[in-house]
Amino acid sequence: MTHEMVKTAIQNAEEGGYQNVQFKLGEIEDLPIEDGTIDVIISNCVINLTPDKNIAYSEAFRVLKPGGRILVSDLVTHGEISEDLRRSFQAWSDCIAGAMEKQEYLDTITKAGFKDVEIMEAHYFTEPNMDIRLEGKILSIQVKAIK
């Protein structure tokens, strides 16, 4: 996020009368939030973009209150993807380059300390003009887990 995006989010919350939200600019691997202070974390295809998902999920676990939860939508792989595809600009712009294998992704969440890791929804991901070698290999999943 940028400073402008945070400013817009704050304005939208004020206009909507939402008083139970905060917006902070930070890095997913080093959240500017105190330990054990957050009830819920939601993410829409952001963790996929970080090179170290272990740190990202450890940070999420750190800032959540006991019993806090995450709901994450992300892309994962179903089968191998060649390195030349992963290094392509198109794969990065489509959020595919950083995708982990599905079970490895779920294991990363569990290793961070989360329990009851559950896929709530999954479907094959496709984009117009997507490289044919990726067909049937990219899944969009929505995962819920509890601290």
- Percent over 70 (pLDDT), the chain: 100
Residue type, 73: S
Is the whole-model pTM more than 0.85?
Answer: yes
Note the pLDDT tens digit of each residue in 101-139: 999 999 999 999 999 999 999 999 888 888 888 889 999
Q: Which domains does the chain have, with CATH numbers?
A: 1-30 (no CATH), 37-146 (3.40.50.150)
Q: Per DSSP, what are the bridge partners of residue 41?
A: 70
CA angle 98, 10, 51 (to 5 degrees): 15
Question: CB neighbours of 50 closer than 8 A, spacing ≥ 6?
Answer: 28, 29, 56, 98
Asked whether 146 and 120 are in contact (CB, 8 A), the reply is: no
